[in-house]
Structure 1
Amino acid sequence: MPAPYQLQGIPTTTIADEFGLPLYVYDADKIIDQINRFRAAFSGSPGREINLRIKYATKALTNLSILKLMRMQGVEVDVVSVNEARLALLAGYTPEQIMYTPSGNAWPEIQEAIQMGLRLNVDSLPLLEQVGNTYGHTVPVCLRINPSVADGGNLKIQTGHADSKFGIPHALRADIARMVVHYGIVVEGLHVHTGSDFKSARTFLQGAEVLFDLAGDYPDLKFIDFGSGFKVAYREGDHVTDMAELGTAITDAFSAFCDRYGRALELWFEPGKFLVSEAGHLLVGVNVVKQHPTRTFVQVDSGLNHLIRPMMYDAYHEIVNLSNPMGTPTTYDVVGYICETDTFATNRDLPEVRPGDVLSIENAGAYGFSMASTYNLRPRPAEVLVYEGTPHLIRQRDTFEDLTRGMVDVAMLNEELIIKN
């Protein structure tokens, strides 16, 4: 039986029995397949090969073993915090392989990133001025440009439109250039990231043309970075980004730009969801099947504390009944155990669900565990990576001690309790 019933030949229910529920399980083979698919799309044409660098967006799935897998496959990293960078260094990356893209981060953190030797992607004019005033020409930067392009899925994940907080508006081109000249700043790259879930090459090409035009102001560029935003399928029949079409369109446009620029630059991308989303499965157990007059609820041992995307973005995630795949189709609301409106799916047809069944919530590799919380003082799940036919524990399940670590028992309050009692 295909995934999610089996992962690399191992029954998924067997993995659930071994490691317990709820549980995040990732298929390393699927991640590697996505990396290879990405490389193939942006390889260029014969005689016009592209110098491609893939920078995995660490925030999508932040785990030491996942980063090591990426490094083994020749994939570098993009980080948005110093702690993500520290984890990348633990995984064996060099500072030069790490792109640091702050978004309103505190100046001391940015200075720490510079001291670590990370590549700096500047997100605002005030930050550009601070860097220039403090470091002058000694710290090369990449400029993150907002191209005023709106496209993709949910508005909450669009980052390139004119009202977005991200990037320096390209309308401020003259101000950027004046500041660069004034401080002698070395600009080594231009960056754009217009958001997520693009379906065609059109939006990427719009953002690309903004950068290609801006590149004329900076003669010492080493790379152009197009970020990411590739749409993956969340349900059967979903429209996804045509990677072959996108690859051809972008590499042709990039090659023509390099000809005009006078030399070949590196082409960078920062995929996160595209590499890990479909590799991830959140396995949950059914606690209660609860019949109401108007609907039937399936209550599971997980919730928005483990996968917030359905509640935050109205995201659709396929749900599979691993325990009873041939059961009679029945309509359910699948809900969590958090004391909030906590819904994974509404009016979802599933094979008959019984207490004790194991369900798999699909496309849970990206922004699942990395956005998880301990709300209601619930532990975060364990994480397992299936690699070369063997499931490996890559993060332990939270314990009560983990949940209370950092809490301080104030002696005065204990004395007060003694007095009152």
Structure 2
Amino acid sequence: MHVEDLAISDIAKRIPTPFYCYSSAAIASNYKRYSDAFSGLDSLICYAVKANSNQAILATLAQLGAGADTVSEGEIRRALAAGIAPEKIVFAGVGKSEQEIQYALEQGILQFNVESEPELERISRLAEQSNTTARISIRVNPDVEAKTHAKITTGKAENKFGINIDLAPALYAKAASLPGIEVTGVDVHIGSQLVDLEPFSHAFAKVAQLVRDLKDQGILISVIDIGGGLGINYGEQSSEPDIVAYAEHAQTHLAELGCKIIIEPGRSMVGNAGVLVTKVEYVKVGQVRTFVILDAAMNDLIRPSMYDAYHHIATVEQKQATATYDIVGPVCETGDTFAKNREIGECAEGDLIAIMGAGAYGAVMASHYNSRLNAPEVLVKGQEYSIIRERIDFDALLSMDSLPNWL
């Protein structure tokens, strides 16, 4: 198994497992798929930083022309440090603090995606105090069923995100009257890992009607942020959503409005551009199951434990024989399981294993649970690789704690 022109087994001779490995070419290819698909619209691709916030990933995308969809001051700082211009940065999220809003105002970001009336009032107050203007887009909740995992759906009425679309006109009217506020856009994001395009079409149609209604009340919208959420094929399905068809839905419903379209892909930009490389510590034959115990764990990749998520798993070296295993990690939790009853190449101690589709929501959600060291991150370009996040040592891990003076 290779990442671009490098054999994973050769990288593993230099970097102890577990480690994340990403492909520059795959990231660039995914960006081009979006830029080509939306070339018929006035559009800006703002990468969803939360999917993978490593600055090397952000810099790769910045050089391709991407902006950034951020949800914290830290993500804004990462985007700026990686070379993404502030006028290409969107700030989303339901709980923006005063400090975060003030920082974003000082940077002159493209827009705030406002999630509630109290947030709108806070942004107005801080902008007025700073003698500046905040460009805002209100995130509307269209009450559309996204047909995805309950923990990552965001467009239903019971979700914490956005303003009910029927209540949005009144809030837009208030926003237009507030000091320090410039109303520029409408924002919608209905969930993550969507593989059916129909919910997008329904949401875009509702947003288009809202833009027309707002125009009738004298509020002109110049930006429509259609969010992200396009899913990838983790190996449990035969295909993944067609980005061209996705763009056509946007074209059908939104093109006639003459607005700039912001797209915020995350998972579909980096998910299948990365693998988690790990090693077999033991093959344990139990009474009911045979377990492959890896040196990677749920603290390295939590998606299977948190979402019951499927990831394709394969031996790095091709095997003639196959066997069925429960593939687990060493953490002291039954939930530290990557797969159950999974048929893969027959494993032996020391074999390298690749957990696929790990470029998004992998390293970025990792922890030091069980006082385990982090899995480093590696970026490959052609025949070169670079460690873009080092593995800390135990001294550094312990130094994160401070003892009180009474101890």
Establish whether TM, by shorter chain, passes 0.5: yes
Matched, 1:13 2:9: yes
Contact 2:114/2:139 (8 A) holds in 1: yes
Amino acid across the alignment from 1:286? V
Going from structure 1 to structure 2, the CA distance change for 1:166 and 1:236 (only over 3 Å counts) comes to closer
8 Å contact from structure 2 (residues 101, 123) kept in 1: no
Query: For structure 1, which runs of at least 5 residues remain unmatched after alignment?
Result: 45-49, 259-263, 414-421
Cross-structure match for 1:329: 322
CA apart distance, 1:236 = 5.6
Deviations along 1:169-208, one digit per CA (max 9) or x if unpaired, are 1121243033124315321111100002223332112111
The one-letter amino acid paired with 1:171 is D
Deviation at 1:239, TM superposition (A): 4.2
Pick closer, same or farther for the CA change 1:57–1:314 going to 2, 3 Å: same
Q: Does 1:338 align with 2:334?
A: no
Q: Look up the match of 2:67.
A: 76
Determine the C-alpha separation between the residues in 1 that align with 2:135 and 2:253. Answer: 26
Contact 1:201–1:250 (CA under 8 A) maintained in structure 2: no
**C-alpha contact 1:197 1:230 (8 A) present in aligned 2:** yes
Secondary structure, counterpart of 2:406 in structure 1: helix
Correspondences of 1:71-110 after superposition (within 5 Å) = 71-110=62-101
1:47 corresponds in structure 2 to: none
Equivalent position of 1:396 in the other structure: 390
Change (3 A) 1:130 1:289: same
- Matched to 2:146, the amino acid is D
Question: 1:357 aligns to what?
Answer: 351
Tell me how many residue pairs correspond in the alignment: 397
CA RMSD of superposed structures (Å)? 1.6
CA contact (8 A) 1:129 1:179 kept: no
Determine if the alignment matches structure 1 residue 232 to structure 2 residue 224.
no
**How much identity, in percent, do the aligned residues show?**
36
Q: CA deviation at 1:378?
A: 0.3
Query: Do the aligned partners of 1:142 and 1:188 also contact (CA within 8 Å) in 2?
Result: yes
- Structure 2 CA distance for partners of 1:75 and 1:134, relative to 1, 3 Å: closer
1:6–1:401 distance in 2 versus 1, CA, 3 Å? same
What is the distance in 2 between the residues matched to 1:135 and 1:237? 47
Which residue in 1 is equivalent to 2:112?
A: 120
Secondary structure of residue in 2 paired with 1:71: helix
1:66 is aligned with what amino acid? I
Counterpart residue identity of residue 251, structure 1: Q
The question of whether the paired residues in 1 share the 8 Å contact of 2:94 and 2:161 is answered with: yes
Report the CA distance between 1:411 and its aligned residue: 4.0
Paired position in structure 1 for 2:275: 281
How do residues 44-59 of structure 1 correspond to structure 2 at under 5 angstroms? 44=40, 50-59=41-50
Counterpart selection for 1:310 from 304, 310, 313: 304
Give the corresponding residue for 2:222: 222
C-alpha separation between the residues in 2 aligned to 1:236 and 1:304?
Answer: 20
Q: Which residue of 1 aligns with 2:368?
A: 374
Which stretch of structure 1 is more off in the superposition, 50-59 or 206-215? 206-215
Corresponding residue number in structure 2 for 1:157: 152
Partner-residue secondary structure (3-state), 1:140: strand
Pick from 138, 143, 151: which aligns with 1:148?
143
One-letter amino acid of the structure 1 residue matched with residue 144 of structure 2: V
Distance 1:77 1:316, change over 3 A: same
Q: TM-score, normalised by structure 1?
A: 0.90
Tell me if structure 1 keeps the 8 A contact 2:127–2:133: yes
User: Matched residues in 1 for 2:172 and 2:403: separation?
Assistant: 54
Indicate yes or no: 2:52 matched with 1:61.
yes
**How far does the alpha carbon of each residue in 1:293-326 deviate from its partner, in whole angstroms, 9 at most, with x for none?**
2110011111110000001001000111113x22
Deviations 1:54-92 (A, max 9, x none): 000001001011010001111111110001111111111
Whether the 8 Å contact between 1:121 and 1:143 is mirrored in structure 2 is yes
Q: CA 1:109 to 1:134, structure 2 compared with 1: closer, same or farther past 3 Å? A: closer
In structure 2, the CA distance between the partners of 1:290 and 1:129, relative to structure 1 (3 Å rule), is same
1:170 aligns with 2:189: no
Shift of 1:51: 1.2
Please tell me the residue identity of whatever aligns with 2:332: C
- Whole-Å separation in 2 of the counterparts to 1:236 and 1:375: 28
SS at match of 1:190: strand
Distance 1:293 1:247, change over 3 A: same
Instruction: Show CA shifts across 1:223-266 (max 9, x none).
Output: 1110011121111643421222222222132223x2xxxxx321
Q: Structure 2: any 5+ residue segments left out of the alignment?
A: none
Structure 1 residue aligned with 2:313: 319
For the Cα contact (< 8 Å) 1:331–1:350, is it kept in 2? yes
Tell me the residue number matched to 2:243.
243
CA distance in 2, matches of 1:178, 1:76: 29
